[in-house]
Amino acid sequence: MKYVNNTQYYKLINDWKKFKKQFGKKYKNKTEEALHRMEFLNTKDLINKHNEMYKKGKSAFEMKINEISDFTLSKYNYRRGLKFNRTRFIINQDEDSRLLKNNVTIPESIDWRKYNRVSPVQNQLDCGACWIFSGNGAMEAAYAKKSGKLYSFSVQQVADCYGGKACNGGWMTTAFQYGKLRGLEVTEDYPYVAKVRTCKYNQSKVVGRIKKWINLKKDENNLKRVVGTIGPVSVGIDASLSTFQNYKNGIYDDPKCTTNIDHAVLIIGYDTDPVFGDYWIVKNSWGTTWGINGYFKIKRGVNQCGIAEAPTYPIA
């Protein structure tokens, strides 16, 4: 953080106090608090500089302080629990090519929230279970398409009953596999606690399951066709940058973003901005105080942040 005078310093400290109160922050000791305070102040400085660029039209997205703006790198890394193995990601799109007939009309824009296919945003908290939130979101949409009923499937059920190390990360198709084999209960019956516990699976409370899943090739035109005509798709992105961590709104297009995917999210639509062009509409699992009420827009057509590296979706 750059040098500040006394007036600026006291304002920053006051901002820190407001931040702690707003998000109910508690720290183990003064040393830990000092570390998080420094992260917060550095982040605030970064946000101010970036938003000046945004105001001048030099950036397509805006940043803001949110509940994870004080996270250290190690703590933030824990939020991004996607474990991707390229050699094990076998594309099987041809297996279900009948769903993607060439004569199907692809809409210019789509937002599956308008069609009752997307459940409310949740907060994964200090557990790297993004892969389950993404996978469950895709299964919710697939089951809603089949049955006409939208459920919020239990993330905690999958975390407790499949593998035992859910908070250490995973891959969306692991959640799909569980949803196929055992079926899923609703969040209300099996609520989320952000840690792995003993499995309490109750077959009598299962409300939905899937039949299989399709892994897509790296092609955003093809991805648009799937999202536009079938429904939401689970994807991985590189979420490592502070610009994403503190995203507020607009179309995320940070050129420093890589294709090394480390966080699982759910594409729920797409559209085009008259100034900044094509974008995806994506659901995150960091609560509603992050981004656009828990969602974000990201540049479409350039594999931004690796979003087209390994798309996958289930069929109910």
Q: Determine contact, residues 128/168, Cβ cutoff 8 Å.
A: yes
- List of residues 6+ apart from 263 with CB closer than 8 A: 79, 80, 81, 82, 130, 236, 237, 238, 239
Please give the Cα distance from 1 to 248 (Å, whole number). 22
Q: What is the pLDDT of residue 258?
A: 98
Q: What is the pLDDT of residue 90?
A: 79
Q: What is the pLDDT of residue 20?
A: 96
Per-residue pLDDT of the chain (316 residues; tens, 9 = 90+): 555 556 777 888 899 999 999 999 999 999 999 999 999 999 999 999 999 999 999 999 999 999 999 999 989 998 998 988 877 787 776 655 555 666 778 999 999 999 999 999 999 999 999 999 999 999 999 999 999 999 999 999 999 998 778 999 999 999 999 999 999 999 999 999 999 999 999 999 999 999 999 999 999 999 999 999 999 999 999 999 999 999 999 999 999 999 999 999 999 999 999 999 999 999 999 999 999 999 999 999 999 999 999 999 999 9
Question: Does residue 169 come out as left (phi exceeding 0), alpha (psi in the -120 to 50 range) or beta?
Answer: left
* Residues involved in catalysis: 130, 263, 284
Question: Which helix or strand (DSSP H or E) is residue 130 part of?
Answer: helix 130-147
Please give the Cα distance from 47 to 63 (Å, whole number). 6
Strands 61-63 and 277-283, bridge-based pairing: unpaired
Strands 295-299 and 277-283, bridge-based pairing: antiparallel
**Which whole-number Å values give the CA distances from 280 to 26, 121, 223, 232, in the listed order?**
35, 17, 10, 11
Phi, psi of 79 (to 5 degrees): -75, -20
Please give the Cα distance from 291 to 247 (Å, whole number). 5
Q: What is the pLDDT of residue 237?
A: 98
- List of residues 6+ apart from 124 with CB closer than 8 A: 79, 130, 133, 155, 194, 285, 286
Please give the Cα distance from 144 to 166 (Å, whole number). 25
Tallying the residues shown for the chain, one arrives at 316
Ordered by where they begin, the domains of the chain are 6-59 (no CATH), 76-315 (3.90.70.10)
